[in-house]
């Protein structure tokens, strides 16, 4: 399987390759990344059905071997819908990227012709604190940036957000919510915006 944006080897700068290997009679899958030039090799193993988690773990582990690279969870919420993305970021450029992401998402999520200036929430000059554990923006739907040290630490939060989305979708009795979501919070559009600004895994 080809992985886009796989960082070059943090050790020697060589080209990295991603490999998935089945073992244990097909019950288990290992995801590994190795450098074609040196011996650096990182492998994570997991049950076959959870290959997406295992893949995210190994890519995060590899990416975070590059000094300065860190991991964060980006969440966009609008009515009951929520989308989660894992990104590798550099603290030196994080705030500018996050602000660009917020501006683009608000432009899409707000009603057309909304006269308000962009609301940067916790990323604004007034509220920004470098090194915070999370940054919230409450606008036309919320946007969260949750900093983490590992995929394992962030996975429970991702599951919570998607479970809340499912629960609230079932409880939503308002007419027209699905139509609003289709207009202002399509998964593919949100993904395109976030991916154009952050290095997603």
Q: Facing residues of 38 across strands?
A: none
Nearest residue (CB) to Zn ion, 11 versus 96: 11
H or E stretch covering 16: strand 16-23
| Least Å from the CB of residue 62 to Zn ion | 11
* Binding-residue total with Zn ion (CB under 5 A): 8
Chain positions 1 to 60 lying near Zn ion, rule: CB under 5 A, are 9, 11-12, 14, 35, 37-38, 40
- Identify the bridge partners of residue 47 per DSSP, sorted by sequence position: 28
Structure tokens at 18: 């991603």
Q: Does 147 bind Zn ion (CB under 5 A)?
A: no
CB of residue 59 to Zn ion, shortest distance in Å: 16
Least Å distance between CB 48 and Zn ion? 29
- Which residue intervals of 13-74 are DSSP H helices? 51-63
Q: Are 143 and 81 in contact (CB under 8 A)?
A: no
Which residues of this protein are in contact with Zn ion, per CB under 5 A? Answer: 9, 11-12, 14, 35, 37-38, 40
């Amino acid at each position: 399987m080809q992985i886009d944006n796989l960082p070059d080897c943090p050790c020697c700068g060589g080209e990295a390759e991603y490999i998935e290997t089945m073992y244990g009679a097909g019950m288990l899958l290992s995801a590994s990344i190795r450098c074609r030039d040196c011996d650096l090799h990182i492998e994570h193993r997991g049950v076959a059905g959870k290959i997406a988690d295992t893949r995210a773990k190994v890519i995060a582990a590899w990416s975070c071997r590059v000094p300065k690279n860190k991991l964060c969870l980006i969440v966009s919420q609008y009515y009951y819908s929520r989308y989660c993305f894992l990104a590798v970021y550099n603290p030196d450029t994080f705030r500018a990227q996050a602000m660009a992401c917020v501006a683009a998402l608000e432009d899409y999520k707000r009603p057309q012709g909304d006269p308000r200036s962009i609301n940067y929430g916790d990323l604004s000059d007034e509220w920004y604190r470098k090194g915070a554990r999370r940054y919230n923006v409450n606008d036309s739907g919320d946007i969260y940036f949750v900093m983490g040290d590992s995929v394992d630490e962030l996975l429970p939060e991702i599951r919570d957000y998607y479970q809340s989305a499912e629960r609230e979708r079932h409880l939503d009795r308002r007419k027209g919510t699905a139509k609003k979501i289709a207009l202002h919070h399509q998964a593919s559009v949100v993904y395109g915006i976030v991916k154009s600004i952050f290095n997603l895994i």
